[in-house]
Amino acid sequence: MSESEISLLIRLQNLDSEIDEGRKRKKILVSEIEKVEGRIKEIQEELSAKKDQLKETKKERRVKEVRIQEIDELLQKHEEEKYRVKSKNEFEALEREIAALEKEKDKEEDFLLELMEKEDELTNLLPTLERNFALEKEKLTQQRAKLDQEVAALDIKEEGLGKEREKVASQISRVYYQQYEQLRKLRDGLAVVMIKDGVCGGCNVKISPSLIGQARRQQVVYCENCNRIIYIG
């Protein structure tokens, strides 16, 4: 019975260790998937921001063009009014208004030129950004698919290991199984360890000859230091 119990406990520990490793790997993969999704979202936002910037620039350019047209119409109107004024004061007031409008027009035209240059730059840049985005998204999508496949494979493997674990656990006596589960919680998932060169594989403390003798006889024995179940490999 003892031999059967220790063999089953060793098998159970190996299964749990494999399940734990799979879950750790899956956690890493999920984190990598989140990073890939974040990068895809980031480059989408970058491209969208450039498109919005171009849209806003075009809008500003149209506003400036309308204002320049309005100024030109006012200037033409004031030039015509100069021939109809009857006093020097009215003439000088028109001259000042014309000068102010011409100054404003110069500023608006400078600003319009800047907007046109910016619009041309963005218009020429966007096709390149869209191509780069498509290439990067395809690359990231393939990476995501590969990670998803690995996660799916781990899920299938864990399901199989879980079924095998249930089968093994059902054959272990209730007392030993409860001790095993308690040790797993207390010892970071490692309840059953092999004696290596006369020391415990869990805490590296020397095992007494009497316990080694019991372990050789396939009895369930415990490390006197860490209380893990120990066995001879």
Mean pLDDT for the chain? 94
- Amino acid of residue 84: R
pLDDT of residue 179: 97
Element (H, E) at 182: helix 174-186
pLDDT tens across 37-71, in order? Answer: 999 999 999 999 999 999 999 999 999 999 999 99
Q: How far apart are CA 191 and CA 85, in angstroms?
A: 106
pLDDT of residue 85: 86
CATH topology of domain 26-170: Helix Hairpins (1.10.287)
Q: Mean per-residue pLDDT for 169-182? A: 96
Chain centroid offset of residue 132 CA? 20
pLDDT of residue 1: 40
Of all residues in the chain, what percent carry a pLDDT higher than 90? 96
| Model confidence, pTM | 0.74
Q: Locate 210 and state its tokens.
A: 């009497």
* Placement of tokens 């003798």 in the chain: 213
Using a 10 angstrom Cβ sphere, with 0-12 exposed, 13-18 middle and 19 or more buried, the burial of residue 87 is exposed
Q: Mean per-residue pLDDT for 152-172? A: 96
Going by C-alpha positions, the residue among 221, 185, 197, 210 that lies closest to residue 3 is 221
